[in-house]
Amino acid sequence: MSMLARIIGHMRPLRRQMALGLALSVTASLASFGLLFLSGWLLAAAAVAGLGGIAARNAFNLFLPAVGVRFFATMRILARYLERLVTHDATLRLIGRMRAWSISRLAPQAPALLARQRSGDMLFRFVSDTDRMGQFYLEVLVPVASAAICCVVFVAVMGAFSLSAALVLAVGLVVCGGVLPGVAGALSVHAMRRISRQQDTMHADLTEVLQGMGEFMFLGAGQAVQARIAARAADIRTERRRVALIEGGARSVMTVVTMTSALGVLAMADMACRAGALSAACLPMLALGGLAAFDVLAPLPAAWPLLGQVHMAAGRVFALCDTPPSVAPPALTRCPDDPSCLSLSDIGLRYPGAERWALRHADLSVVRGERVALVGPSGAGKSTLVNLLFRFYDYQEGTARFGGVDLKDVDADIMARHVGVVAQDFHLFQGSIRRNLTIACPTATEDAMWQALRVARLHAFVQAEPAGLDTLIGEGGVRLSGGQARRLAVAQVVLRNPAWIILDEPTEGLDAGTEHDLMTALLSALSPRTTLVCITHNPAVAARMDRVVRVEGGRFHEAGRAP
C-alpha cells in the first residue's frame, strides 16, 4: 500500500470531521469568489445608475447585488473561521492518533530497537514526522481538493456567461494550479530530500550532544561536534534558500499567468459583448471573477513540496513501525501460578547480530524467598538474565519457566507486576523525588514513600532538603550523586514490593558504611517470601546472600550456599 493510502487509512475514523472541514473550505472559497463576482456587478450597477439617472436606476436592479455582496461577505468570514476551527482540530486529532499508533508499534520493539537507532532519530520520528503526516490533510489534501472543486465551479459559472471566457479561465487555472506547482515541486524535490536528511541527522546529533555534553567536553570533541552541527545547519539554510527561490519563482510566474488570464477573460467577454451575446454590465463582473478565481490556488506552490516531505516522513515512520518486534508477543498470555520461582534449563541466548552466545547451556533454579548473588567477570552474561526475564531479547535454545508457566507465554506487563528491577543503567525521570516514586507506585502514600526511602538509606538526605519529597532531581537525576540516584532507584523497587527483586550492582558508588546499612535495611525490610537476585562484583554484598551463583562462559555455576 502506498504511503499516502496508509495515511488516508489513519484518517478514516475522522472522515466526517475532515469532510466537514473540506466543505467549509470550499464554501469559504466560493463565497470569496461570489463576493468579487457580485462586486463587479454592483460596480456596474452603481455606475449605470449614476450615469443614467432615475430611468436607468429603475431599469437596473441595485438591490440584488448589494444583498448578494453582504451575504457572501458574511458567509466568507463565517466559513473561513469555522474551517480553521474544524480542520485544525481534525489535524491535531490525526497527529495524536498517528503518535499513539506509532508508540503502540514501537513499544514492543524496545529496548532492542534502541540498540539499533539513535534516540534523537526516534524523537524526530515521533515529533516532526508524525506532525508532517498530520499536515497532509491540512496543507495538502484540503487546499488541493478545495481548489479542484472550486475551479470546476468557477469555470462553470463563467461558462454560463461566455464559453470562450470560461475556456481562457480554465487554461489559466490548470497552468497555475497544476503545471506550475508541479514543476516547482519537481525542481525542489532534491533539495527537500536533502533538507529532510540533514535535519534528521542534526536532530540526532543535537540529542546526543545534550545527553553527553560532559563526555564530549572530557574527550575534547566539543568543538568538532559544534562545527559538524553548524555545517549541517548551513547546508539546510542553502537548500531552504533554493526551495524558497523555486517557490518564489513559481509564485511570480503564477501572478503573471493570473493577470494574463484575467485580461484574456475580459477580452473574451468584451468580444461576446460586442457580438451582443453579453450585456456591458457583465464585463466588470467577469473580470473581477476571473481574478478572484485564482485566489484558491495560492496555497498550492507550498502544497506540492510538502507532499514530498509527507511522503518521506511517512516512509520513515512506517519503515520503523513495520519492523517486526525482535521478540514475538505471546499467542496466549498466561499468568504465573506462583510468581516467585524461576527455572532455566539448557538456555541459549544470542543477541541479534552477535557472534557469541551471551548464555549457552545455562541452567538455573531460584525458588521463593531465596537471596541469590550472581557474580562473575564482566561480560559473562549476568545482566542478560534481566533481558531474558522481561523478554527484551528472545532465547533461542532451552526452556524457561517462571512461576510454573513457560516464559514465552508471559508478557512484559505481567512480568513487571511480579518482578522489580534496578538495572545497571537505570533511569530516573525529570521532576521531583515524589514524582519518581509515584511513577513506580501510583497508589503509594506519603508514609510508604518515606519508608521506602528509609530502606534505601536516602531518607536523611531527603529530610534535609527544604522541599523534602518535592526536591527536584533534574533530567535523569543529574542533581543527585551517583550513589543517591541508585538508592532512589532502589527505593522505587522497594515501594512496589514485588514478589521478585533483581538489583544490578545496587551498591555501586556507595561507601562501605552506606553499602552495609543499605543491604542490612533492605534484607530486613523484605518479606521472607520475596526473592532477591543481586548481580554484583562486590564480595561483601555477595556474602550476605543465601547462595552465590557464578556466571562464566555463558553458564551458571553454583559457587556456594550460606551455611
- Interface positions with ligand ATP (CB under 6 A): 115, 351, 354, 358, 376, 378-384, 424, 551
For 393, the enclosing helix (H) or strand (E) is none
Residue 495: CA atoms inside 13 Å, Cβ hemisphere, count? 30
Residue 208 or 508: the one with the smaller Cβ distance to ligand ATP is 508
Residue 31 or 380: the one with the smaller Cβ distance to ligand ATP is 380
Q: What are phi and psi for residue 142, nearest 5 degrees?
A: -65, -50
Q: Is 365 helix (H, G, I), strand (E, B) or coil?
A: strand
Burial of 494 (0-12, 13-18, 19+ CB in 10 A): buried
Minimum Å gap between C-beta 220 and ligand ATP is 26
Residue 38 or 388: the one with the smaller Cβ distance to ligand ATP is 388
Amino acid occupying residue 455? V
Q: Is 184 helix (H, G, I), strand (E, B) or coil?
A: helix
Minimum Å gap between C-beta 543 and ligand ATP is 18
The DSSP string of 42-110 is HHHHHHHHHHHHHHHHHHS--HHHHHHHHHHHHHHHHHHHHHHHHHHHHHHHHHHHHHHHHHHHHGGGT
Minimum Å gap between C-beta 555 and ligand ATP is 12
Residue 137 or 357: the one with the smaller Cβ distance to ligand ATP is 357
- Which residue is associated with the grid cell 566539543? 222
Residue 100 or 543: the one with the smaller Cβ distance to ligand ATP is 543
Edge to edge, the sheet with strand 397-402 lists: 359-366, 342-349, 397-402, 405-406
Residue 249 or 553: the one with the smaller Cβ distance to ligand ATP is 553
Residue 34 or 381: the one with the smaller Cβ distance to ligand ATP is 381
- The 3 state secondary structure assigned to 449-469 is HHHHHHHCCCHHHHHHCCCHH
Minimum Å gap between C-beta 295 and ligand ATP is 57
CA distance 19 to 75: 18
Minimum Å gap between C-beta 410 and ligand ATP is 21
Q: Is 472 helix (H, G, I), strand (E, B) or coil?
A: strand
Residue 157 or 502: the one with the smaller Cβ distance to ligand ATP is 502
Amino acid occupying residue 380? A
Residues contacting residue 375 through CB under 8 Å, at least 6 positions apart: 382, 536, 537, 539, 542, 548, 549, 550, 551, 559
Minimum Å gap between C-beta 533 and ligand ATP is 12
Minimum Å gap between C-beta 440 and ligand ATP is 23
Minimum Å gap between C-beta 361 and ligand ATP is 15
